[in-house]
């Protein structure tokens, strides 16, 4: 594992998902799943999110579309919250999910809208 890439990934991951969430993920990690936390932090957040070609906002919008299509509701809610932190507006999130509905199916779009509304409510409460 590259310490430099891992550290960059940890910084980005905390910025997008929130330091509390990331620290809880590592605190809850054990010998079985700690390697997954490390892999995610280094490769996903450090090696890919740490690249300069796309903005954080663009990466968030891509993630919303892909995670919606993959039907990963827990990850989607987390990334909706992160997208808001990265400057993606509710209107832009709506447009992403309309696109999902057309290309991945209405059920995927419907679920994505429902999950986004839950995420918005949680963010507004905090």
Whether 33 and 95 map to the same domain: the answer is no
Q: How many domains does the chain have?
A: 2
**Angle CA 77–39–1, to nearest 5:** 150
Residue 1 has pLDDT above 80, yes or no: no
Residue 103 CB neighbours (<10 A): 12
**78 and 58 assigned to the same domain:** yes
Say yes or no: 85 and 99 in one domain.
yes
Same domain for 22 and 65?
no
Q: Are residues 74 and 109 in the same domain?
A: yes
pTM above 0.75, yes or no: yes
Same-domain check for residues 82 and 116: yes
In a shared domain, residues 48 and 61 = no
- Three-state DSSP at 62 gives helix
Tens digits of residue pLDDT in 30-86? 999 999 999 999 999 999 999 999 999 999 999 999 999 999 999 999 999 999 999
Per the structure, the complete domain to which residue 12 belongs is given by 1-53
């Amino acid at each position: 594992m590259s310490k430099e890439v891992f550290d960059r990934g940890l910084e980005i991951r905390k910025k997008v998902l929130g330091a509390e969430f990331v620290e809880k993920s590592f605190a809850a990690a054990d010998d079985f799943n700690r390697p997954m936390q490390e892999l995610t932090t280094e490769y996903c957040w450090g090696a890919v999110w740490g690249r300069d070609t796309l903005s954080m906002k663009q990466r968030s919008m891509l993630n919303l579309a892909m995670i919606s299509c993959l039907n990963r509701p827990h990850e989607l809610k987390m990334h909706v919250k992160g997208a808001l932190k990265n400057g993606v507006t509710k209107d832009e999130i709506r447009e992403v999910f309309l696109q999902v509905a057309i290309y991945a199916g209405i059920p995927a779009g419907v679920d994505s809208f429902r999950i986004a509304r839950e995420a918005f409510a949680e963010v507004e409460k905090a």
